[in-house]
Amino acid sequence: MDSGKEQLLSPSSINEREYFRRSFDARESFDLDSDIDATEFLQSDPLTSSKPSTAAFSNRPRNRWLRNPCRCLTGRSTKCIIGFLVVFALVWLGLGTGGFFAFKKYKQTPPDGLSPPWYPTPKGGTSRNWAESYRRASEMVAKMTLPEKVNVTTGTGWKMGPAVGNTGPATNVGFPSLALQDGPLGIRFADNATAFPAGVTVGATWNKELMYQWGNAHAIEARKKGINAILGPCIGPLGRMPAGGRNWEGFGADPYLQGVAAAESIKGIQAEGVMATIKHLVANEQEHFRQPWEWALPNALSANIDDRTMHELYLWPFGDAVKAGVASVMCSYNMINNSYACGNSKLLNGLLRDEMGFQGFVMSDWLAQRSGVASSLAGLDMTMPGDGEFWEDGKSFWGSELTRSILNGSVPLDRLNDMATRIVAAWYQLGQDDETRFDREGPSFSSWTDEPEGVYAPGSPSEQDTVPVNRYVNVMGDHASLARQIAAEGTVLLRNEGLLPLARDAGNLSDKMARRDSPLRIAIFGEDAGPGEGPNHCPDRGCNQGTLASGWGSGSVEFPYLVTPVEALTKSWEGDGTVKVSTYLTNQPPFAKEPEILRDAQLCIVFANADSGEGYKAWEGVKGDRPDLSLQKGGDELIVKVAQGCNGGSGDVLVVIHTVGPVVMERWIDLPNVKAVLLANLPGQESGNALADVIFGDVNPSGKLPWTIGKTLDDYGEGAKIMYLPNGVVPQQDFKEGLYVDYRHFDKHGTEPCFEFGFGLSYTTFEFSDCTVKQLKEKTALPSPRPRDFAVPPEYDSSIPDEDEVLFPEGFRKLEKFVYPYLDTIDDIVSDPYPYPDGYDIKQPASGAGGEEGGNPDLWETYVTVSANITNTGGSAGKVVPQLYLSYPEGISTVDVEFPVKVLRGFDKISLEKDETRTVTFNLTRRDLSYWDVNMQNWVMVVDGEYKFSVGRSSRDLPLSGTW
């Protein structure tokens, strides 16, 4: 076996199979009426399976003939049989360029990955910041039985507890079951909790303080609901593909912006004592083919990324998260260089733990674990939700199988001890042993029913007592005001030709719009302005109807309410006889039958949107990832018709867009009477109020684009396009564009965007002046030598425990499908030599890039500062976002690498009164100034030539510059 291609993905012998949990169920619901539709190949609704079940979760074939294929085959119809076989062949031949032959070649998980091995897993407890927590954790873990250690690391199964993720307790030592619940918008499946703006809206604020407060408020609500760990924030996907289904959960398409936002929100979450979980590690950039069988293929997509790109782009924000002390990292569904992320030793052991110094625990995404022994050796610490390959099957890769693996010697007890210690240390690190704040009673709500009473484990068919499961605790406090502020500051003003802000009465509007002899006529158009069927109409927000305030999937929440734009706007004009408002909350108003709708309107406000979400759900043509960058439900056509017809084509038009990501605006952006455009992103429950604040000038817009708006999808490059059809049964996605994602690609190719990264207007104006560069430390190519570990990891007795302690206790009542750590018998334990992966017994050299949380401490030292003065030269107070971009030295013969034209390396947000001037200073660290050298395997600073620092309003409006 090639040690450079670790064979950790599937058992290869009969004996090994006994120690691995593989699939024991036939594949169900194979719907041949669909091409490759995610929702048609699920055994049950994977991440929702929620309260209560509805037809939306049905996985039966939609065609009667397909529901009964056997009836057809057992009949006498030759045409029927031939038709069935033809359809079956066409489906498999369409799986990729390799067709049937590719399937024949890849019937099983690829035995060889391209990701090099990195063993053994570095132990936790080396960091100064975690030393005391590890000391206390080691004392507890030393007293645990083997089943208790296994219990701590293994989820109890899907729907086997009140939260979406529940671990087993270590009762004898007083360690509780942990409750893990989705974010990152709020507490998923919970009542009386805030529906915050989405991550992309938070990113669009470019406001570090709001990023912190967003995380902190979320954690306050989670703690009060009895949650130990929030499954957020999200920084993967990064946003390589503008149509990616879950981009909206993250903060934007730049690693620096993502990293700062992640760090601030993690600090906010963990200041409340709740564990943050940074996700998804790594390169889960599209929903299509993200995991096995969700799209009919037996394997997930492999994201193939070179070393430098991995470090400088996709891992960069994870470094910020680790530096911030994040308690948990969630590994993703996809493969990385043909090795599943949750079993990729190079990723989890080498990059995350050795280089970044991660001290917390790694948990799998839900069902992202693809092996038992292999994943534990590769660095996985906690499996979620505990089931094996399928939902609610109770056949865990760990649980009793992990217990068996310890007894037969296939998993070293040393590894299990580290797994359990990391989890317990995180619990201590966050102060969750304080029972005045974490009462050990678990969540006060059920993820599976809205009724006050139910069973503890509804995923089990076993008979159970009915107990109180929902206490309806209201935890929202005053968080609506914070949600409103974030939504307002995350709204981006893209165009304004004197239209905004609007006045609340016609007397203060322009002469063009006001008629002295009649009220001002305002018309509001678009389904996106109104309530539709309500914000919670579709499970997990899995459809686009009414105003768009959130994407769909596990990152969504139950809205306690949703203030719609039409409600807030009409309320602002309510009772004003000088204004007459008409509303048409549809994307197909009866313009032909009632031409006066447009003809009489002097001001037209038109709403449109674009939605997407997680791949297990589909809405119309949107199967997780968007099929294009167009506005949905005829939004572009609506805007064009309104602009052409508003007051006979002379009326003013305000366009408002709610979207999960960039949308192409070329059909209407240059129409002469489109006077203003607002991009409101995904604003959460306070949508309408926040929008009204901006439109009427109560809040001066200060949002900035967290990604580029191109003129076409092609503008983003080939690497930005979703793979909608697989190129093999194991889809291979090569990240050939390297570092050139979003604005970096536009800069490299000289492509003119519609609106550039970092762009956003204000109602006032700002002047930038006096750029000053100050050196604090001399340039040196490499960081200081890696420091010695601050502390020594805990050591335990490594002898195999007494086998009798792993048996089910006498009289123990088991719940069917519940994941337990116990065994029924030990008679079948065989301690044959385990075929550890090649390289497992070779100790890896410590990376010079490591040494503490976040990596070598020298990487975080400030080497140079850049200062600039900003003056508010307009007529009103406002907030400004100064941005700093770095350009590496050019033409250096000693540096044979290519650099982007510029990269974001600093931003701030300050409030300025009229005529006020303030100085902003950016601190640039060694890490900011370095690139990843694939030969040196370290962060390297360019010591020859001059760095250029550009400061300004956006990535293409940079009036100031300085050199170093």
Measured CA to CA, the distance from residue 413 to residue 402 in angstroms comes to 10
| E strand segments, 680-814 | 732-734, 766-775
Largest Cα–Cα separation, the chain: 95
Catalytic residue, chosen from 45, 191, 365, 693, is: 365
Q: Give the residue from 617, 902, 944 showing the smallest Cα distance to 758.
A: 902
Query: Three-class SS of residue 942?
Result: coil
Measured CA to CA, the distance from residue 197 to residue 563 in angstroms comes to 13
Cβ neighbours of residue 864 closer than 8 Å, sequence gap 6 or more: 773, 774, 775, 776, 777, 924, 929, 947, 964
Measured CA to CA, the distance from residue 766 to residue 881 in angstroms comes to 10
Q: For helices 146-153 and 400-407, give the axis angle rounded to 10 degrees.
A: 130
Q: With beta carbons less than 8 A apart as the criterion, state whether 229 and 487 touch.
A: no
Neighbours of 65 (CB within 10 A): 14
Amino acid at 335: M
Measured CA to CA, the distance from residue 591 to residue 646 in angstroms comes to 11
- Give the C-alpha distances (Å, rounded to integers) separating 850 from 357, 788, 860, 926, 939: 6, 10, 12, 14, 10
Q: Give the residue from 193, 185, 169 showing the smallest Cα distance to 471.
A: 193
DSSP assignment of 419-465, as one string? HHHHHHHHHHHTTTT-TTTS-SS--SS-SS--SSEE-S-TT--S---
DSSP assignment of 589-604, as one string? --TTT-THHHHT-SEE
Q: With beta carbons less than 8 A apart as the criterion, state whether 829 and 885 touch.
A: no
How is residue 108 written in tokens?
Answer: 């099983």
Q: For helices 316-323 and 255-270, give the axis angle rounded to 10 degrees.
A: 20
Q: Is 229 exposed, middle or buried (0-12, 13-18, 19+ CB in 10 A)?
A: buried
- The torsion angles phi and psi of 862, rounded to 5 degrees, stand at -80, 125
- The torsion angles phi and psi of 448, rounded to 5 degrees, stand at -115, -10
DSSP element (H, E) containing 652: strand 652-659
328-331 and 361-364 as β-strands: parallel, antiparallel, unpaired? parallel
| E strand segments, 729-808 | 732-734, 766-775
Measured CA to CA, the distance from residue 525 to residue 655 in angstroms comes to 10
Measured CA to CA, the distance from residue 55 to residue 685 in angstroms comes to 26
Query: Three-class SS of residue 486?
Result: helix
Q: With beta carbons less than 8 A apart as the criterion, state whether 398 and 150 touch.
A: yes
Measured CA to CA, the distance from residue 145 to residue 733 in angstroms comes to 44
Radius of gyration of the CA atoms of the chain, in A? 28
Q: Tokens 């719907």, residue?
A: 31
Q: With beta carbons less than 8 A apart as the criterion, state whether 760 and 494 touch.
A: yes
Cis geometry, peptide bond prior to residue 288 (ω within 30 degrees of 0): no
- Give the C-alpha distances (Å, rounded to integers) separating 331 from 63, 237, 376, 695: 37, 12, 13, 41
Active site residue 827: no
Q: Which residues pair with 88 in a beta bridge?
A: none
Residues forming the active site: 365
